[in-house]
Amino acid sequence: MITFYTPGESALELPDPAQCSEFTRRAVSIDLCEPTPEEEQVLEAALGLDIPTREEMQAIELSSRLYKEGNVLYLTATVLVKAQIERPESAAVTFILMPEQLVTLRYETPRAFQAFRARREANLTSYRTSYDILAGLIDAIIERIADILEGVGAHLDQISLEVFNADPTSARTTESSVRVQAGKVAQRDFVEVLRRIGLNSDLVSRARESLVSFTRLVAYFRETQKDTPAAAEALAHLKTVATDLNSLSDHATFLAGKVSFVLDATLGMINNEQNRIVKIVSIAAVVFLPPTLVASIYGMNFELMPELKWAAGYPFAIILMIISAVRPYAWFKRKGWL
Domain boundaries in the chain? Answer: 52-274, 275-335
- Alpha carbon distance, N-terminus to C-terminus of the chain: 69
Task: Name the residue among 157, 158, 148 with its Cα closest to residue 252.
Answer: 148
Residue 181 pLDDT:
46
Residue 141 pLDDT:
93
Asked if pLDDT for residue 302 goes beyond 90, the answer is: no
Residue 137 pLDDT:
92
Q: Residue 29: which H helix or E strand, with range?
A: strand 29-33
Fold of the domain built from segment(s) 275-335: Methane Monooxygenase Hydroxylase; Chain G, domain 1 (1.20.58)
**What average pLDDT does this structure show over 216-244?**
90
Residue 258 pLDDT:
92
160: three-class secondary structure by DSSP: helix
Residues 6+ apart with CB under 8 A from 113: 31, 104, 106, 137, 140
DSSP 8-state class, residue 167: S
Residue 245 pLDDT:
93
How far is residue 54's CA from residue 70's CA, in Å, rounded to a whole number?
22
How far is residue 328's CA from residue 326's CA, in Å, rounded to a whole number?
6
Hey, what amino acid is at 112? A
> Burial, 221: exposed, middle or buried (Cβ in 10 Å; 0-12, 13-18, 19+)?
buried
Asked if pLDDT for residue 5 goes beyond 90, the answer is: no
Residues 6+ apart with CB under 8 A from 269: 163, 185, 190
pLDDT digit string, tens, across residues 150-196: 999 999 999 888 888 754 444 444 444 444 444 444 445 788 888 88
**What average pLDDT does this structure show over 44-65?**
79
Residue 210 pLDDT:
92
CA distances to 17, 165, 168, 267 from 24, in Å: 11, 60, 56, 58
CB-hemisphere CA count at 13 Å for 300? 12
**What average pLDDT does this structure show over 43-67?**
80
Residue 338 pLDDT:
66
Residues 131, 234 contacting (CB under 8 angstroms): yes
How far is residue 148's CA from residue 141's CA, in Å, rounded to a whole number?
11
Asked if pLDDT for residue 288 goes beyond 50, the answer is: yes
Residue 83 pLDDT:
62
Strand-pair partners of 93: 77, 106
Could you give the percent of the chain with pLDDT greater than 90?
A: 24
Which of 230 and 187 is assigned the larger pLDDT? Answer: 230
How far is residue 268's CA from residue 263's CA, in Å, rounded to a whole number?
8
Q: What would the DSSP string read from start to end of 60-127?
A: --HHHHEEEETTEEEEEEEEEEE--SSS-EEEEEEEEE-SS-EEEEESS--HHHHHHHHHHHH-TTS-
**What average pLDDT does this structure show over 71-89?**
80
Pairing between β-strand 2-5 and β-strand 12-14 as defined by DSSP bridges: antiparallel
CA distances to 149, 204, 218, 243, 263 from 251, in Å: 8, 10, 19, 12, 18
Q: What is the pTM of this model?
A: 0.76
Residues 32, 49 contacting (CB under 8 angstroms): no
Residues 110, 141 contacting (CB under 8 angstroms): yes
Which of 308 and 161 is assigned the larger pLDDT? Answer: 161
Mean per-residue pLDDT of the chain: 82
Band of residue 276 on the pLDDT scale cut at 50, 70, 90: confident
Least confident span in 11-20, 26-35, 237-246, 247-256: 11-20
- The residue length of the chain stands at 338
